[in-house]
Amino acid sequence: MFCPKCGASLAEGAVFCHNCGYNLSGVSQDPAAAPVSPLENTKTKLQNPLFLAICILLTVSAGVGFFFGSFDVLAILIVIGVWLVYAGSTGENTNLIGSGIKVTSVSVKIGYVLTYVGAGLIILFGLLCLLIFGMIGDAVGEFTTEIYAGFEEALMENHVDAETSAMMYEFIDAFIKAITELSGVVIGVILFVATLLSAGIMILVNVLFTGRFSKYLTNVSRAYNECRPIELNERGVATRILVYGIFLGIGALSTLATGALFGFISQGSMVAACILSYILLKKAD
């Protein structure tokens, strides 16, 4: 017999499911009863209309983003993956479910790795800004030295005594040079700190969300291929998806505030997909 909740194979007469802890006391123990395999159990859960809505929303999000500036190939691959899963869950070819999960899992994993690469490049850019603006400050400082050398000559031509003109020149030259050098360093530091914050946010999101989603999809893919019960809400992934959706919602509102309508539609569709995913996974729990 199989667990009616998660589809795990059970010993005859079991009182609780060893996989999910479901109470089997009210379940028929008739051996002749048609068992539900883990794969059929998963297929049934994916036939929920919410999953179709999620597929549509992800398609809208990726499509609008692709045609209006983002060109996110990985998002397109994820959409292809979820539609394969949907096709397999509603049709006879259940192999499409495994293929779809695999495509989605690999796409998310690639995005996970590329995010770290992108964060590293951003930090490198910040270091270059720090170096370049410091050099610019030095160059401008040297340029002002040449300018005020001419200024000193002009003072002498106007019969300003040499000592006074030298003092004025040294003061003005030192002041302008210090300001320009300091300005270059300050601008470089500001840009460097900004890049560090940006890279830090990317890494934080990667660790808390993308990395967890990648591991989750890998486990789901492996369980499906091995015909083992699939825990759709493994380790509370539904809650992580909801929190991720909230962060995306904040970004969508800021996008709307700037007047970027298509960006808002793209991000808003993703937010709606996250909310529906949370509901679907909690129902499957």
Backbone angles phi, psi at 23, to 5 degrees: -75, 120
Q: What is the pTM of this model?
A: 0.72
Query: 18-22, 33-37, 132-136: lowest mean pLDDT where?
Result: 33-37
Residue 62 Cα distances to 46, 57, 76, 109, 273, angstroms: 21, 9, 6, 17, 12
How many other CB atoms are found less than 10 A from the CB of residue 134?
17
Mind listing the pLDDT tens digit for each residue in 222-272? 877 776 666 766 667 889 999 999 999 998 898 888 878 888 999 999 999
CB burial of residue 267 (10 Å; 0-12, 13-18, 19+): buried
